[in-house]
Amino acid sequence: MKKLNNKVIIVTGSSKGIGKEVAILLAKNGAKVIINHSNSEKEANNTATTIKDNGGEAIVIKADVSDKKAVTELFDKSLEAFGKIDVLINNAGTMISKKLKDNSQEDFNTQFNVNVKGIFNTLQEADSKLADNGIIINFSSSTTKLMLPTYALYSATKAAVEQMTRVFAKEIGRGISVNAIAPGATETELFLTGKSKEQIDKLSSMNAFNRLAKPIDIARVVLFLASDDSKWISGQVIGANGALV
C-alpha cells in the first residue's frame, strides 16, 4: 500500500529544485499534490505533467507566500479542489549569499519576507484549515549550525523558522504534528548559482559521504515525515545533511 494514499498535500515552491522532487515522490506514493509557485508557471506545469504521466494527481496554484491574501487563496483553492488539506510542506524560500555588510535593505526584506513571513502566513492559514491529525513540515537549513561567511541573513531566517516550528507544534493542537527539515548542501539551481568548483568541492568534502545531496535524498526524508509513520515526532528539527553538522 502506498504511504500517502488519498492525502492532500500543499508543497510551496514546488516548480523546481527540492520542492519539485518532493512533489513527484509524494504523488508516486498516493498523495494528491498542490504544486505552488510564485513566478515559474512553465516549470510548475512541467512538474504537474510529470506527476500525471506517472499516474498521479496534481494541480498548480500560483501564490506568492509572502502575500497574506495570496496564501489565503492558495488554501481556499486547494480546499475547493480536494475538499481537505492533510499536509502542508513549506519549501518555498530564497537565498542571497553576501557578507552581512554588503546586504542591502532590499536583500534583507526579500529573504525575511519569503523565508519567514511566508511560513508565518501559511501557518496562520493551516491553524484552521489543515485537517485534524494533519502534518506540517517547514524547511530550515543546516547553515543555521555552520556559521558560514555570507550566510548571516539566510541563516537568521532559517533560525526563525526553527523557533516558529517548535512553538507552533505546541500551539496548534488537533493532533497536528509540526517539524522542520534542515538539508545540507544540495544540488539545486538555487544552491549552485554563483559558486565555483572549488567552493562546491569544499562543501562536498565537509559531510560523511563526500558529495552534495541530491534533491531525492531530501525528498525521501520528507516522504517519511509526511506519512503517519512519523506522527510521534513533533516540534523537532531533522537534519538531513549526511553528518555535515
**pLDDT at residue number 192:** 81
Count CB-CB contacts under 10 A for residue 119: 30
Q: Is the pLDDT of residue 173 over 60?
A: yes
Q: Is residue 194 in a domain? A: no
**pLDDT at residue number 9:** 98
Give residue-wise pLDDT tens across range 213-242. 999 999 999 999 999 999 999 999 999 999
Q: Is residue 208 in a domain? A: no
Q: Is residue 166 in a domain? A: yes
**pLDDT at residue number 56:** 97
Q: Is 141 tagged catalytic?
A: yes
Cβ contact 68:44 at 8 Å: no
Mean pLDDT of 138-161: 96
Q: Whose grid coordinates read 520528507?
A: 222
Give residue-wise pLDDT tens across range 3-59. 999 999 999 999 999 999 999 999 999 999 999 999 999 999 999 999 999 999 999
Q: Is residue 192 in a domain? A: no
Give residue-wise pLDDT tens across range 76-114. 999 999 999 999 999 999 999 999 999 999 999 999 999
Q: Is 151 tagged catalytic?
A: no
The one catalytic residue among 38, 66, 97, 140: 140
The one catalytic residue among 158, 177, 227, 230: 158
The one catalytic residue among 78, 141, 230, 234: 141
Q: Is residue 70 in a domain? A: yes
DSSP bridge partners of 61 = 36
CATH of the domain at 65: 3.40.50.720
pLDDT bucket at 195, cuts 50 / 70 / 90: confident
**pLDDT at residue number 196:** 86
**pLDDT at residue number 120:** 98
φ/ψ region of 104 (left if φ > 0, alpha if ψ in -120 to 50, else beta) reads beta
**pLDDT at residue number 33:** 98
**pLDDT at residue number 189:** 82
Q: Is residue 203 in a domain? A: no
Q: How many domains does the chain have?
A: 1
Percent of the chain clearing pLDDT 70 (strictly above): 100
176 three-class SS = coil
Q: Is residue 102 in a domain? A: yes
Q: Residue 85's closest CA among 72, 67, 69, 66?
A: 72
Q: Is 154 tagged catalytic?
A: yes
Q: Is residue 112 in a domain? A: yes
173 three-class SS = coil
The one catalytic residue among 16, 38, 154, 230: 154
Q: 22 lies in which domain range?
A: 8-187+215-238
Q: Is 202 tagged catalytic?
A: no
